[in-house]
Structure 1
Amino acid sequence: MKIVIINYGAGNIQSIKFAIQRLGYEAILSNNPEEIKAADKIIFPGVGEASSAMHKLKDSGLDRLVPELEQPVLGICLGMQLMCNYTEEGNTKGLGIFDVNVVRFDNHVKVPQIGWNQIESLDSPLFDGILENEYIYLVHSYYAPVTKDTVAKTHYGITYSTALQKDNFYGTQFHPEKSSVVGEKILKNFLKM
């Protein structure tokens, strides 16, 4: 199985690569469109600020490629947010895969949300074997509201989407590579699809 982690200069790609290795698989890091198109599974990571990450995607032409991919694609954290229509962070137009706009937490909660929180309302093969209210690891100031593509929710001041799914596209607001046994299981479920 060929696993590609999209390397566009805005991701914590090494920790994802190591998590995949712990599961017994190898992943390559690439921003080469042909290599990405030839992959069986694609991971679209993201850490940092949305508008600069989108500029990096556009510079490499990956903003046009990613929405056209037909194999399973997993967006993680900012990667998931960039797969949405728009994010308030940097007033950034997204890839339009998930029909939702990403917004900032209001001042009633500590921002960013950093640490462990629970996931619930699990509704995707991504969560096979995962129990309701398991803990996952999050670091974010912006969130996707609950939408028709929501397949997991978390509560932090409000209830929001912790995971989205549409067709072959999956997104997690949390970091599966940092979410211990639960995160490893979720990554394994994705790789087995």
Structure 2
Amino acid sequence: MVRPGGRSARVQTSVHTAVRELEAELGRDALTVPLVAARAGVTPSTIYRRWGDLQELLSDVAVERLRPETPPEDRGDLASDLDAWAEQFLEEMASPPGRAYIRDALLGDPDGDNAGQCSAYAAEQIKVILARAAGRGEPTPDVETVIDRVVAPIMYRILFRPAGLDAPYARRLVAGLLAATS
């Protein structure tokens, strides 16, 4: 069992920071476990014990990078809130760094935990939007319906059919969701 604080948290923070710094300085292809370990001030065996290999480490770092930094913007109504969130989600995930983080998160994740965590991040953001709308008395779909009708098509298109990924596409998904919900 990994303790939530203490040395374990410090090691994770220093290793994640080392990965981000080295990736910015040298590029992703130059990363090695010994290089990351030296920068983080830990032994390579510490990284191998905790993450297994470089790909699992990159996956862990990617999941943290995919975590939203702020709550979704409140634009005053459900349609506007979902439009703004879906546009931002699409823009971030479809960007070259976003695609690299998605790839890394999935490649180093044989059991699906990282994919589940990324999904939970989106669900948390959606819950905030839906709770605000419900508080205003607006009818709302459930979280899973938003995932199925907005998030899933965006992610599928990012991974397999990236043409046409733009703000109007995100807004069409939201409009279809809301039309089906009314």
More helix by share: 2
TM-score > 0.5, shorter chain as reference: no
Q: Which has more radius of gyration?
A: 2
Flag the structure with higher strand content.
Answer: 1
Interval containing the TM-score (normalised by the shorter chain) = under 0.3
